Amino acid sequence: MAKITCPKCEYIFNTNNIKSLLTRIIGTLIGALIGAAIGAIIGGGLGIVAGPGCGVAGTIPGIIIGFIIGALLSWFILNLFRKCPECKKKFKL
């Protein structure tokens, strides 16, 4: 496993401790829900048409796509930051 060295106090700690992982998971779920809400709003204004007389609202596909994009973006953004367990300094990797 990779180790991280704090830039302030030089403390070396594990990258995937339980608290850090739980914070990223909760943040990812929040980001996914926000993405799903935005996808529902955008998808509600769009329609998906497969041919004459065969159309459906884009709300459900918008929710699904927004959920996936929101989850991925929030996970990668939250994965860039860590907090030192020793001095409590937050820093970017």
Structure tokens at 6: 């704090």
Which residue range is the domain that position 70 belongs to? 29-40+57-93
Mean predicted confidence (pLDDT) in 25-44? 94
- The string of pLDDT tens digits covering residues 67-89 is 999 999 999 998 888 888 888 88
Q: What are residue 92's phi and psi, to 5 degrees?
A: -95, 140
Residue 63 counted as domain residue:
yes
Residue 93 counted as domain residue:
yes
Residue 76 counted as domain residue:
yes
- The string of pLDDT tens digits covering residues 42-62 is 998 888 887 787 888 889 999
Residue 79 counted as domain residue:
yes
Residue 49 counted as domain residue:
no
Residue 3 counted as domain residue:
no
Measured CA to CA, the distance from residue 39 to residue 73 in angstroms comes to 14
Residue 45 counted as domain residue:
no
Residue 81 counted as domain residue:
yes
Kindly tell me if the per-residue pLDDT of 17 is higher than 80.
no
What is the number of structural domains in the chain? 1
Opening angle at CA 63, ends 60 and 67, nearest 5: 150
Opening angle at CA 18, ends 87 and 22, nearest 5: 100
82 C-beta neighbours (distance < 10 Å), count: 19
